[in-house]
Structure 1
Amino acid sequence: MPFVDWLTSFAELGEWMAGRKEVVKKDNALRFGILGAANITPTALTLPARSHAEVLVVAVAARDKKKAEAYAKRYGIPIVHDSYDALINDPSIDCIYNPLPNGLHYHWTLKALKAGKHVLLEKPSVSNAEEARSLFHHPVLQGPNAPILVEASHYRFHPAWSLLLSLFNRENVEYVNAHAAIPAGIFPGDDIRFNYPLAGGTLMDVGHYTLSALRSVYGTEPVAVTSATPRLINQPFDQRCDQAMVATYMFPNSGTGKISADLGARGGYWFPWLTGNWPNLKDSVQVVSVTLKEQMEDVGEEGVIKGTRRQIKLWNFMLPHMWHRIDIVTTTTYRDASGKTVKEEKSTENKKAYKWPEGSGGDIKGEDWWSTYRYQLEEFVNKVKGREGSGVWVDGEESIRQMECTDRTYEKAGMLLRPTSEALE
């Protein structure tokens, strides 16, 4: 079973295990149309929409109409349009979900916005920074009644990510490591993720999450991309696409960071001569590790200085609704006047957050079974409806800066930027 189909089946199983039924829809529910019949759509929209009283998925269109019809039948979608244009111009539709290949994001998102539709746009928002600036600064998004557009960096909407960010002061961050990998064999070399004309490459896929997480932890942009090392997709496939990317960055507070993203992880076991091409399963849990600067304190005992350092690690940051854990490891070191260590203590604390804390109040909602995508959908609807919600959002400037940093990483790696749409305005 392909990986994305497994994710969909897992989501459907989760719905059944939770004993949930479709809620009664409100009269003012937002009506969604879907561009394409992408494998991610059930996980990202169709299934989460079942539990949202203000969301109806009513239409789909795909290049292959038979595929769209099969998708509509499976998920109970009443309308199948003959084309993307027909769906976008359907006056009964309020919102568009765009999970098309990266290289098609700009063109079809802009068309939807011009038609007055709100757009939930899959990550990465577009192919490069030039497209991002054009899209998010476009006049169609200006003014009090402009449509809503958001890049679907879904992990940011989950309470676990907000909890992580609450555990430290950004000015004290010294080093961040963001890692995400998929075992080899799941995505073949001819997968659309490695199609350069459609803005493929691992940095544009799971690499988006690692770079986004790194930037989110620091809360600012790196002053330099200090290194970027790609592993290209193997021949005879498109050599303009990275199958893996490792990159390092320096930030304004002198902190540093590293991302490692891989869509074909291999090896990592004993006897590499035998296991070097085996799919790497042990490193497939996504993790963000934050190391804070050591805090020094004079304890007033014959010149003894106490140093406290914390490392905070969020396991499974991309899919925390399936399972996650935040480990807070505190190391306390006592040093004498000469700097020699006289005693060291270490303690570990664990935290998790599947829903917002009690008493959050206002428009903040959530259940412990909500996925990252369900939390994201909640905030999308809140934004369209003019409600405050949790306050978590990915604004246009954030999406622009993400693509600018992506471009700088590809440049440092000596690779071409992803191509710009001919429809650029």
Structure 2
Amino acid sequence: MGIVQWMNSIAEFGEWAAGRKPVTKKEDALRFGILGAANIAPVALIIPARSHADVIVVAVAARDRKKAETYAKRWGIPIVHDSYDALINDPSIDCIYNPLPNGLHYRYTLAALKAGKHVLLEKPSLSNAEEARSLFHHSVLSAPKAPVLLEASHYRFHPAWRLFRAQFNKEDAEDVESRAGLFAGAFDSSDIRWNYDLAGGATMDLGHYALSALRGAFGTEPTKVTSATARLRDPPYDRCDEAMTATYTFPNGGRGRMSADLGTRGGYWFPWLTSRWPSFRDCLASVTVRTQPQALGSENGLEKSEQKMVKFTNFMGPHGWHRIAVTTTTTLSDPTSGNPVKKTRSTEKKTAYTFPEVTASKGEEWWSTYRYMLEEFVNKVKGREGSGAWIDGEESIRQMEANDRTYEKAGMLVRPTCKELE
């Protein structure tokens, strides 16, 4: 069983364990079609849609119709179209979920928007910044009653991300590190993640989350990519990175570091024996923020200051389990020499599975990041007030710009631009 299929099984078990049954759908529920028989679609849309009265998944299309028919039967999808274009042009469909390979995002997303469909677009939104600027600035999105387009960076919609961001002022972030990894062997050599022409690579996969979280913690864009080092796949896939580490400088002078690895290995005793063994050390993705020391005046003739370290463990999948550990270090220093005289540390651990009562979309404790994202997508389409969580087109463009600059700093080619670019 592949890693994504395993995620689907866990998601289904979670709903069963919570005693959740499919809800009765409303007459004006949004009708979704899925482009491709994608492994990610069940956990990202099909399973979350079961508990949403305003969403029905009604159609799928794939390059291989037999594969689409098998997929439709497995997931209870009533309509199978012969092609992506046929699905997009189906007048009974309101919304398109596009989880196709990255290199196909632009063509089919733009076609769907032109057909008047709202689009939930898998991350990363496009292959590069040029495509992102073309798509998100396209006139179809500024026309009256324009369709909704959302990049599916699902973790940003969960209450835990908002709680994490509330633990520090973004202007005070001094040092931030984000890490995401997957054990070696999770994807075989035929996986599309190693296809350069389809915009593959670790930076386009787990790197999207790691870089997005880094930017989100600082709340702004890096002024410089200080360094970037890629570990490449073996030929003939060596135009794709299996891992990327990069450091960034931010406008407040802060430093950021991201690490994304789709083949994590080693880290055990006896490295001569274990260096090639799969490692699980970063499978629970984390983002850690250390703030600048804040002066708090004086106490008993000593200068008092405070510094925070906030670590969010499992920020990519907080609905399963997560922890936000806030460690506060208070220092009393000699005012003459500046040397510390006394230090005290305290740690508080926090979690959030729903939004506060005052929020319009409070959510349920069992909702996944994808279910929270689907809620906000529907709210936007229906013109309802939601939780306030959203990713606009400019955010998606800036993400791809930072992504491209990282590849360039690593001495690699930016992922190719599609020929359908407008």
Structure 1: 5+ residue stretches without partners: none
Q: Helix, strand or coil: the match of 2:209? A: helix
**Does the Cα contact within 8 Å between 1:164 and 1:326 map onto a contact in 2?**
yes
Q: Helix, strand or coil: the match of 1:86? A: helix
CA distance in 1, matches of 2:88, 2:188: 32
**Does the Cα contact within 8 Å between 1:290 and 1:313 map onto a contact in 2?**
yes
CA distance in 1, matches of 2:281, 2:165: 26
**Does the Cα contact within 8 Å between 1:189 and 1:237 map onto a contact in 2?**
no
1:405 aligned to 402, 406, 410, which one? 402
Partner of 1:415: 412
Structure 2: 5+ residue stretches without partners: none
Which stretch has the larger CA shift, 201-210 or 293-302? 293-302
CA distance in 2, matches of 1:332, 1:285: 29
CA distance in 1, matches of 2:339, 2:290: 22
The 5 A counterparts of 1:247-266 are: 247-266=246-265
Partner of 1:354: 353
CA distance in 2, matches of 1:79, 1:298: 68
The answer as to 2:283 corresponding to 1:281 is no
Partner of 1:114: 114
1:326 aligned to 324, 327, 343, which one? 324
2:374 aligned to 365, 373, 377, which one? 377
Count of aligned positions: 421
Amino acid at match of 2:190: D
The answer as to 2:307 corresponding to 1:309 is yes
Q: Helix, strand or coil: the match of 1:253? A: coil
**Does the Cα contact within 8 Å between 1:190 and 1:237 map onto a contact in 2?**
no
Cα offset, 1:282, TM superposition: 2.8
Partner of 2:66: 66
The answer as to 2:149 corresponding to 1:149 is yes
The answer as to 2:220 corresponding to 1:223 is no
Amino acid at match of 1:307: S
Cα offset, 1:359, TM superposition: 2.9
Q: TM-score, normalised by structure 1?
A: 0.98
CA distance in 1, matches of 2:281, 2:370: 26
Amino acid at match of 1:317: F
Partner of 1:41: 41
CA distance in 1, matches of 2:161, 2:64: 38
Partner of 2:386: 389
Amino acid at match of 1:267: G
Q: Helix, strand or coil: the match of 1:228? A: strand
Q: Helix, strand or coil: the match of 1:127? A: coil
Deviations 1:71-93 (A, max 9, x none): 11111111000110110000000
CA distance in 2, matches of 1:394, 1:298: 39
Deviations 1:160-197 (A, max 9, x none): 00111111111111011000000001112331101000
Partner of 2:239: 240
CA distance in 2, matches of 1:98, 1:86: 14
Q: Helix, strand or coil: the match of 2:28? A: coil
CA distance in 2, matches of 1:88, 1:417: 29
Give identity over the alignment, percent: 67
| 4+ residue runs over 2 A deviation | none
Which stretch has the larger CA shift, 151-160 or 65-74? 65-74
Cα offset, 1:334, TM superposition: 1.1
Cα offset, 1:143, TM superposition: 2.5
Q: Helix, strand or coil: the match of 1:299? A: strand
CA distance in 1, matches of 2:92, 2:288: 46
Q: TM-score, normalised by structure 2?
A: 0.98
**Does the Cα contact within 8 Å between 2:181 and 2:281 map onto a contact in 1?**
no
Amino acid at match of 2:109: T
Amino acid at match of 2:226: T
The answer as to 2:47 corresponding to 1:50 is no
Cα offset, 1:213, TM superposition: 0.7
Amino acid at match of 1:312: V
The root-mean-square deviation of aligned C-alpha atoms, in Å, is 0.9
Which stretch has the larger CA shift, 180-189 or 377-386? 180-189
CA distance in 2, matches of 1:213, 1:115: 33
Cα offset, 1:237, TM superposition: 3.5
Partner of 2:363: 366
Q: Helix, strand or coil: the match of 2:214? A: helix
Partner of 1:177: 177
Which stretch has the larger CA shift, 104-113 or 68-77? 68-77
Partner of 1:294: 293
